[in-house]
Amino acid sequence: MTDSVVEKRIATWRVALYALPNIPHSLALLPVVNFVPAFYSDDLGLPLGMVGLMLFLSRVGDIFTDPVIGIWSDRLRTRIGRRRPFILAGLPLICVAVWLCFVPGERPGLGYLLACLFFVYLGFTMIDLPYQSWGAEMTGNYDERSRVSAWRGAFGSIGTLLALTIPLILEATGRHGARAALFWMAVFFVVLQPLAFFLMMAKLPEPAPGDVRAGAPLPLRAGFRLVLRNAAFVRLNIALALILVGLVVGASLNLLVVTYVIGAPGAFPTIIFLQNVVALLGIPVWTRVAAHRGKHVAMLACAVWIAACMASSFVWSRGDAVGFGVSIVALGFGLGGLLFLYQAMVADITDQDLLNSGEERTATFFAVLGMTSKAAIAVGVLVGTGLPALVGFQPSDAVHSARALLGLKSVYAFTCVPLIAVASWLLWRYPLTRAVQERVRADIMVLRAATAGRG
């Protein structure tokens, strides 16, 4: 990232080209949360609690792979850049893993599911950390970072909508069930993901490293100490993790609640489709809120909106498909902002670290955030699949008691509320405002000018 582009508006075609791969890329994980738990437990007969445990265990590897890939990507120097090599290596891995996970044989076991999920997440990390870092390093401007992240989020929502048309089309043609939907989602992903990334990498220059000091990189321990002492990053990291746990509890139970509590499983594809339409429509609104009130305030508002929508779902019972659908579709409005704002905030956070460390370590910060986020997702799936079992709900039971259904509905609606309350407090006291970020950018420019002068 060079100083000459810090204050300039990035050409729209460049932003769109960067965001393009997120159309298929967003499909790597969404079905894992929304379709895989119900598919492997309901259709394939594996115990729901054990499926949740496999989803949890598959993310343990990220504790080790995320920092390795993040630090390596920041320090790598090759003729084709430091981000491209990881994306190129990750593409074949994730395509094969997604196919095997979404299109299993007739009797896959828990070990098969665990292996598939591990490699899906590994391939995703190899691509996503460099990809996020690439976008964060395209500009140093506070609002332009929101714009880049918003475009990426919007294209991700478009990809999700395109994929979610698959179960809608299948429902319309009388082909019900998750197996056919996951098959065509896998086809969508493995064809378009490589094509979109190859186009982006061929046409869009990769930002050059923006270090402000020469010499050997920081020792790993010293580098991580700086990360963990970054007050804004610690607050964002914890807040996002809490929000994600609550969100994923709901996402992992979406289909089960629609099926067994509301009694309208056929409405599920339509509800999720409309939720993503609303998420897409919300992105420009949250971009404006972030520009006028700050990114942290916008993210706080998104989180509160999500909690209110989840809690409101509790009032709906069997036969209330429309009312329940309104609650969950409305949730998409907050989701649309949440999924791009935190990326723009990390870009600002790395500026402060650049002053402290002298190195542009964007991927390292995304890696640490990714570690806790993926752990949060795993905990959310574990809680979402484990708590209903504790109150007596099992999808495979022939009859579900009113108590079991009430327990399922309560877990779904209220788990996120206390978590988001704590996250909101953390975001309200967030220290990295627009004014602070602009002062940091000015200091970086002074350092770079001094370094250039000595050169």
Give the CATH number of the domain where residue 56 resides.
Answer: 1.20.1250.20
Domain count for the chain: 1
Query: Does 397 map to a domain?
Result: yes
Asked whether residue 8 is domain-assigned, the answer is: yes
Contact (Cβ atoms closer than 8 angstroms) between residue 273 and residue 332? no
Other C-beta atoms closer than 10 Å to the C-beta of 349 total 26
Of the pLDDT bands very low, low, confident and very high (cuts 50, 70, 90), residue 328 is very high
How deeply is 392 buried, as exposed, middle or buried, from its count of CB atoms within 10 A (0-12, 13-18, 19+)?
A: middle
- Write down the pLDDT at residue 453: 60
Whether 191 maps to a domain, the answer reads yes
DSSP track, 382-415? HHHHHHHHHTT--TT-SS--HHHHHHHHHHHHHT
Give the pLDDT score at 397: 73
Per-residue pLDDT band for 344 (boundaries 50, 70, 90) equals very high
Q: Is the pLDDT of residue 3 over 60?
A: no
pLDDT reading at 392 higher than 90: no
368 burial via Cβ count (<10 Å: 0-12, 13-18, 19+): buried
Domain containing 108 equals 3-204+218-454
The tokens describing 66, both together, are 């995320």
pTM: 0.86
The DSSP line for 272-336 is: HHHHHHHHHHHHHHHHHHHHHH-HHHHHHHHHHHHHHHHHHGGG--TT-HHHHHHHHHHHHHHHH
Confidence of residue 178 (pLDDT cuts 50, 70, 90): confident
The answer to whether the beta carbons of residues 243 and 338 sit under 8 Å apart is: yes
**How wide is the angle at C-alpha 260 spanned by C-alphas 257 and 264, nearest 5°?**
85
In a domain, residue 212? The reply is no
Q: Is residue 43 part of a domain?
A: yes
- Residue 210 within any structural domain of the chain: no
392: its two tokens: 């007596």
- Residue 320 burial (10 A CB sphere; 0-12, 13-18, 19+): middle
- Is position 211 within any domain? no
